[in-house]
Structure 1
Amino acid sequence: MEELTKTEERIMQIIWDLGRCLVRDIIQKMPDEPKPPYNTISSVVRLLESKGFLSYKAYGKTYEYFPIISKEEYGQRTFKKVFADYFGNSMESLLSFMVKEENLTLEEIEKLKSLINNR
């Protein structure tokens, strides 16, 4: 699976939320003001389709897009890459980072301990 650019990922987040949609539905959900041009979003959607993230159903000249890679599947693959690239596949490094950098509460740390002990 190819990696997504930040723009592609933002658009995929909208598509995952919508399920099935037209390009105009995506634009409507975008928070940026001013809204990007229709052709720009249409081009990104076509790139997502060529990368295997989307498929579509044609109704004449109108295309309804839908995800064929779930948000969860993409999240798992992305996490595995981050885990390997930034933490060297070391659970200790990941947990150490979480505890030190994310300012976990004592309750959250206890929950992590419990999860580890119950495995």
Structure 2
Amino acid sequence: MEELTKAEERIMQIFWKLKKAFVKDVIEELPDDPKPPYNTISSVVRILEKKGYLGFTAYGKTHQYHPVISKAAYRKMYIKKLLSGYFDNSPASLLSFMVREENLSEEELQKLKDIIDRSSEQ
């Protein structure tokens, strides 16, 4: 699975939210003002389709697109790449970084401890 550019990931986030959409629907979801041109978004959508992230149903000359790759599958690939590229394949290093750099609250730290405790019970 190919990693997405920032623009592609932004569009995929919309498809994961909507489940299926026409290009005009994607444009409506974008917070930008003014909205990007239709052709720009259409080009990104076609790239995502060629990369295998989106499938489509044709209705005459128009296409309704839908995600082929789930958000969970992409997240898993992205985190694995993050772990290997920046944390020497060590989840502990990633967690240590998060705890040090993100100024986690006591509540968030407790949630992490609970997750670790539950996973060690399995």
Match of 2:66 in 1: 66
Match of 1:77 in 2: 77
Please give the secondary structure, in 2, of the residue aligned with 1:88.
coil
In structure 2, how many angstroms separate the alpha carbons of the residues matched to 1:16 and 1:28? 15
| 1:20-76 deviations in Å (ceiling 9; x for gaps) | 110000001111111111111111100000000001010100100000001111111
User: Which stretches of structure 1, 4 residues or longer, exceed 6 Å deviation after superposition?
Assistant: none
- How large is the RMSD of aligned CA atoms in angstroms? 1.2
Please give the secondary structure, in 1, of the residue aligned with 2:100.
helix
Match of 1:37 in 2: 37
> How far did residue 108 of structure 1 move?
2.5
> How far did residue 92 of structure 1 move?
2.4
In structure 2, how many angstroms separate the alpha carbons of the residues matched to 1:63 and 1:20? 10
Match of 1:107 in 2: 107
Match of 2:93 in 1: 93
Please give the secondary structure, in 2, of the residue aligned with 1:89.
coil
Please give the secondary structure, in 2, of the residue aligned with 1:108.
helix
Indicate yes or no: 2:18 matched with 1:18: yes
Please give the secondary structure, in 2, of the residue aligned with 1:82.
helix
Matched length: 119
Percent identity of paired positions between Structure 1 and Structure 2: 61
In structure 1, how many angstroms separate the alpha carbons of the residues matched to 2:33 and 2:40? 15
Call closer, same or farther: CA 1:40–1:102 in 2, change over 3 Å: same
Mind listing any 5+ residue stretches in structure 2 that lack a counterpart? none
In structure 2, how many angstroms separate the alpha carbons of the residues matched to 1:91 and 1:64? 39
